[in-house]
């Protein structure tokens, strides 16, 4: 038998495993258990991604944490008949709270509800009182024992607003800041995720304590919730900021001007106008996503047409879904990246200077030599530039082009001659662009000659129906349909 590996080696390997795999590791032997158990309990609620998992696994997690409580805390829960005096013998082997890194408050409370339901049944008139007491005891356990809590979520990662409506409105909130050692523990938070439905007073108190966040993710924020605004404005070390809302948020533009210098990733999805001029002078930004879907809100401002004066040489991801913008300003922004962009996705509702689509395409062609992913609207008078785009951006791997009704047969042949060799996915406006069988055959033959790997994921034109040429190349493994 081989001798055990060093602890550092085990943990370096185990950190790449998912929750279920780590669960298997702790069953192998004592050495594996000791090295995997800490990682397994860093984010225990991570696997509760569906209602059925909350129902089946949530109570087990709470029962395990309850076994870590002090004798005084356990007696408090014995009063509610959640724990029996004989259960004190079932003390946990480890204080699992010590390992906690990410606390999902919403999932914690939902799991507690299920635990109480399993333990006491549905007919309990003091449900809210019991929930509050259990939340207080477990959160106290976390704050007094956890040495490395870095993430707090009132918004579970990957969950939608539907989940919030179903659960958050019925969630019992307590004053976390009043719990023992809470201020010390929360002052070290690096990531906070929350819904606008999270009570204002809860967020205001956290804003007073947690001033060193690196990541702030807000969903369904509203002007009325001052706690959200306070959270953002008091941060001094913020690196990533995401906000998604259907509400106008005029404070974003004001606050961003003060914070944008340190931010590396910005994701804004709202029904408000975010001036691009905010990003003047930015030097550290790496990812920028702006979506000002104004279909349900009036335009409150228009960016002036002006050149960007600062270089955005660290910007790698640019994703813009904008209405009523100047394409020349977008072109200026792209030029200021000095070739750093790896991903570009541009969607425009009603550009103020639609005649400059061609200039924008030319800018991408000349200023994005490292580009790997591209999503772009191509007007009919600019389609002929696609081959040149492929010739210049030789690192492209994934391309999606959209536009109006047009026959691209001639351009498709030229595209085949200039295909980037690393191309893996190609979507050529399948709803509106058409091409004849001859041009398709020529294009696919060039694919076979030029591309490094197969099959090419390809979105076929749905207007012409079935294609014998395409089917033959699919059978040969040259292409596959998206």
Helix (H) or strand (E) holding 115: helix 105-120
The whole-number pLDDT of residue 274 equals 77
- Rounded (to 5) percent helix, strand, coil in the chain: 45, 15, 40
pLDDT on residue 169: 62
What DSSP element (H or E) covers 420?
none
Contact criterion met (CB below 8 Å) for 214 and 237: yes
Q: What is the phi/psi pair of residue 52, to 5°?
A: -65, -30
User: What pLDDT is recorded for position 183?
Assistant: 92
SS (H, E, C) the chain: CCCCCCHHHHHHHHCCCCHHHHHHHCCCCHHHHHHHHHHHCCCCCCCCCCHHHHHHHHHHHHHHHHCCCCHHHHHHHHCCCCCCHHHHHCCCCCCHHHHCCEEEHHHHHHHHHHHHHHHHCCCCCCHHHHHHHHHHHHHHHHHHHCCCCCEEECCCCCCCHHHHHHHHHHCCCCCHHHCCCHHHHHCCCCEEEEECCCCHHHHHHHHHHCCCCCEEEEECCCCCCHHHHHHHHCCCCCCEEEEECCCCCHHHHHHHHHHCCCCCEEEEEECCCCCHHHHCCCCCCCEEEEEECCCCCCCCCCCCCCCCCCCCCCCCEEEEEECCCCHHHHHHHHHCCCCCCCEEEEEECCCCCHHHHHHHHHHHHHHCCCCCEEEEECCHHHHHHHHHHHHHCCCCCEEEEECCCEECHHHHHHHHHCCCCCCCEEEECCCCEECCHHHHHHHHHHHHHHCCCCCEEEECCCCCCCCHHHHHHHHCCCEEEC
Q: Averaged in consecutive runs of 10 residues, what is the pLDDT profile of the chain (482 residues)? A: 67 73 77 76 76 75 89 82 62 83 89 85 71 92 91 72 55 88 93 82 88 89 72 88 76 74 87 77 87 58 64 93 84 93 90 86 95 94 93 96 92 93 94 91 94 91 77 92 86
* Distance in angstroms (rounded) separating the CA atoms of residues 241 and 217: 6
The pLDDT of residue 80: 75
- In this predicted structure, what is the pLDDT of residue 456? 93
Q: How many CB atoms lie within 10 A of CB 3?
A: 6
> 85: helix, coil or strand?
helix
How many CB atoms neighbour CB 249 within 10 A? 21
Please check whether residue 457 is in contact with residue 480, taking contact to mean a CB–CB distance below 8 angstroms.
yes
Q: Which pLDDT belongs to residue 161? A: 47
How much is the pLDDT for 264?
Answer: 93
Q: Is 399 helix (H, G, I), strand (E, B) or coil?
A: strand
pLDDT at 162: 47
């Amino acid at each position: 038998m081989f001798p055990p590996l060093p602890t550092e080696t085990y943990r370096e390997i185990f950190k790449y495993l998912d929750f279920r795999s780590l669960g298997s590791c702790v069953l192998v032997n004592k050495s594996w258990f000791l090295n995997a158990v800490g990682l397994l309990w860093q984010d225990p609620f991570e696997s509760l991604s569906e209602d059925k998992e909350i129902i089946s696994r949530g109570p087990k997690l709470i029962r395990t944490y309850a076994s870590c409580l002090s004798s005084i805390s356990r007696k408090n829960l014995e009063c509610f008949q959640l724990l029996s005096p004989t259960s004190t013998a079932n003390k946990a082997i480890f204080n699992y709270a010590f390992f906690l890194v990410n606390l999902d408050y919403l999932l914690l409370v939902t799991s507690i509800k299920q635990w109480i339901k399993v333990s006491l049944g549905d007919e309990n008139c003091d449900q809210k009182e019991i929930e509050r007491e259990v939340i207080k005891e477990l959160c106290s356990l976390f704050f007094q024992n956890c040495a490395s809590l870095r993430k707090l979520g009132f918004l579970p990662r990957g969950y939608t607003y539907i989940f919030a409506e179903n659960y958050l409105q019925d969630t019992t909130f307590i004053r976390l800041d009043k719990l023992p050692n809470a201020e010390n523990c929360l002052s070290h938070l690096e990531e906070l995720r929350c819904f606008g439905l999270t009570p204002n007073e809860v967020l205001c108190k956290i804003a007073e304590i947690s001033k060193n966040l690196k990541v702030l993710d807000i969903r369904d924020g509203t002007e009325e919730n001052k706690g959200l605004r306070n959270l953002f404005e008091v941060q001094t070390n913020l690196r990533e900021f995401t906000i998604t809302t259907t509400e106008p948020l005029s404070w974003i533009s004001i606050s961003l001007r003060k914070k944008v210098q340190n931010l590396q990733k910005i994701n804004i999805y709202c029904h408000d106008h975010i001036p691009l001029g905010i990003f003047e002078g930015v030097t550290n930004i790496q990812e920028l996503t702006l979506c000002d879907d104004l279909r349900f809100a009036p335009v409150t401002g228009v960016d002036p047409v002006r050149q960007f004066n600062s270089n955005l040489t660290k910007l790698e991801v640019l994703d813009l879904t904008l209405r009523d913008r100047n394409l020349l300003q977008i072109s200026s922004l792209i030029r200021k990246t000095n070739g750093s962009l790896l991903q570009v996705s541009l969607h425009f509702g009603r550009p103020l200077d639609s005649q400059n689509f061609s200039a924008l395409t030319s800018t991408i062609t000349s200023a994005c030599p490292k580009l790997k992913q591209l999503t772009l609207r191509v007007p009919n008078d600019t389609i002929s530039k696609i081959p040149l785009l492929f010739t210049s951006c030789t690192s492209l791997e994934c391309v999606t082009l959209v536009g109006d009704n047009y026959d691209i047969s001639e351009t498709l042949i030229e595209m085949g001659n200039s295909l980037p060799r690393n191309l893996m996915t190609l979507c050529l406006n399948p709803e509106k662009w058409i091409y004849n069988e001859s041009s398709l055959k020529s294009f696919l033959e060039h694919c076979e000659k030029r591309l490094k790997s197969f099959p090419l994921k390809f979105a076929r034109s749905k207007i012409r129906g079935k294609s014998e040429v395409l089917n033959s190349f699919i059978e040969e493994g040259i292409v596959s349909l998206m």
